[in-house]
Amino acid sequence: MTVFNPDARVQLVLGTQWGDEGKGKIVDLLGEQHDVVARFQGGPNAGHTVQIEGEQFILHHIPSGILHDHTICVIGNGMVVDPETILTEIEELEDRGFEVCGRLLISENAHLILPYHKIIDKASEGFKEDAKIGTTGCGIGPAYADKIRREGFRAGDLLTRDWEARLREKVRINNLVLERVYGEPPVDAEDVIGLLLRFMDRLSASIADTMHYMQACLREKKRILLEGAQGTLLDIDFGTYPFVTSSNTTIGGVSTGLGIAPQRIDHTLGILKAYTTRVGNGPFPTELAGDFGDRLREMGGEYGATTGRPRRCGWLDLVAAKYAVQLNGVDSLCITKLDVLDTLDEIRICTAYDVQGDRTGEFPVSGEKLESVRPVYETVPGWKTRISSLTAYGDLPDAARAYLDRISDLLGIPVRIVSVGAGREQTIIL
Ligand code: IMP
């Protein structure tokens, strides 16, 4: 595979929609040319799917670079780590022949998702009448809430002398919340300690000061790939709040979640799926309800990699994508799943919104306003040809190239990669 952007030592890959853009495949692909692959936010809510020679891998915590023998994978301080899930993830990778622990670093400042966080996540959703977020139920929100309330428990705490006593106290307080607020049975502190001892048994040597590690990598001019999770529109600050995740999925998350200064990022690659999906609740202007949306879901295999939930599907929304490009300073684009549109007669692109009679190209930050917008579409012809075996841009049908060119023109940045299937080889580098 041709080396992508050889001048960039530090590259960021992030999602420009509501997640599930296909970042895992691209990080795996680019990982080959990098020494270090690091994640900076989120946790097991992510489900990064990589397919190698017909075999599928779904990664939740561990950076998608792990599938290349030479890369060091870093879980930054901005992530939340579920000891139970990560142990399973490691075991599954080891069973399939990958060496993990010796190549994995976990920030000592990364917060842990403890069993009560998962119970609270699910129970609090059950309490809501009409504003359920539709979380992944992985305990993400409650773990980040504890971090912000300064009541979290970090990986590095496990390296201190009296951690068991402090953990018992946290479990005691959270059990009160579980019982009195949610009517849920308490968690057994000794079970939690047992889980963390198993975590330490496998991973104590991986817990590290990853900020200084990343700084050393920068000094040594190592090639670093930064792997975003979820997508721009799920960002806690810039997303469609409250229907968002609990971390900064946008470029700022790299600095706060890994300790890398913004100006050290040489290139930001935005991943844009050729149509739009969203899992969970919240506004989605270009959503296709009904048969056609169902057909798109089946054509694209749009079911959650973490929860198996059906994803909501719709046309490509370039108003939202423009917002993501601006927010993240995206330098170039990777268009994924272009082949899913192969059979369509015509394709629609949302180029503007009508908001109470006014036309705008600006993505509204208010959720209420976003609920009421009407998308304005441009219709382009489909290519009606199977493209998933093509490897050169020049071989793509004219209509497919016209679709890509239109996206590039409207967003004002070049398309550098086109993905036409799940396999590593089903990728066109421009
Ligand atoms: P949470 O991150 O589990 O708290 O879920 C909050 C919202 O983000 C829900 O709408 C989820 O469906 C969505 N979400 C979280 N992680 C992902 C992801 O990796 N892909 C797509 N949506 C996600």
- pLDDT of res. 53: 87
Average pLDDT for the chain: 95
Using CA atoms, how far residue 2 sits from 5, 43, 396, 417, in Å, is: 9, 31, 18, 11
Q: Which helix (H) or strand (E) holds 48?
A: strand 48-52
271 close to 230: Cβ distance less than 8 angstroms = no
- pLDDT of res. 125: 86
In this prediction, residue 166 has a pLDDT band, given cuts at 50, 70 and 90, of: very high
The more confidently predicted of residues 218 and 368 is 218
The rounded distance, in Å, linking the Cα atoms of 379 and 196 is 55
276 close to 317: Cβ distance less than 8 angstroms = yes
In this prediction, residue 3 has a pLDDT band, given cuts at 50, 70 and 90, of: very low
- At 158, the amino acid letter reads L
Report, as an integer, the average pLDDT of 82-109.
97
Q: Which residues is 207 bridged to in the sheet?
A: 106
The rounded distance, in Å, linking the Cα atoms of 373 and 180 is 41
Report which protein residue has its CA nearest ligand 1's atom 10.
Answer: 280
* Residue 5, pLDDT above cutoff 70: no
The residue behind tokens 């920068």 is 218
Active-site pick, 34, 48, 60, 68: 48
20 is catalytic: yes
Total residue length of the chain = 430
Task: State whether the beta carbon of 138 lies less than 6 angstroms from ligand 1.
Answer: yes
- 138 Cα nearest atom in ligand 1: 3
- 45 Cα nearest atom in ligand 1: 16
34 is catalytic: no
Domain with CATH 3.90.170.10 in the chain: 10-108+207-429
The CATH label, of 3.90.170.10, 3.90.600.10, 1.10.275.10, 3.40.50.2000, for the domain at 10-108+207-429 is 3.90.170.10
Task: State whether the beta carbon of 11 lies less than 6 angstroms from ligand 1.
Answer: no
The rounded distance, in Å, linking the Cα atoms of 130 and 27 is 37
Question: pLDDT, tens digit, for every residue of 285-340?
Answer: 999 989 999 999 999 999 988 888 999 999 999 999 999 999 999 999 999 999 99
- pLDDT of res. 307: 84
> Prior bond to 242 cis, omega within 30?
yes
Residues 6+ apart with CB under 8 A from 315: 275, 276, 286, 288, 347, 348, 349, 350, 375, 377
% of the chain surpassing 70 pLDDT:
98
Domain with CATH 1.10.300.10 in the chain: 111-206
Task: State whether the beta carbon of 59 lies less than 6 angstroms from ligand 1.
Answer: no
- pLDDT of res. 2: 45
Task: Using most ligand atoms within 8 A of CB, pick from 138, 230, 235, 246 the residue to mutate for ligand 1.
Answer: 230
The domain 111-206: what is its CATH number?
1.10.300.10
- 46 Cα nearest atom in ligand 1: 19
Whole-model pTM above 0.75? yes
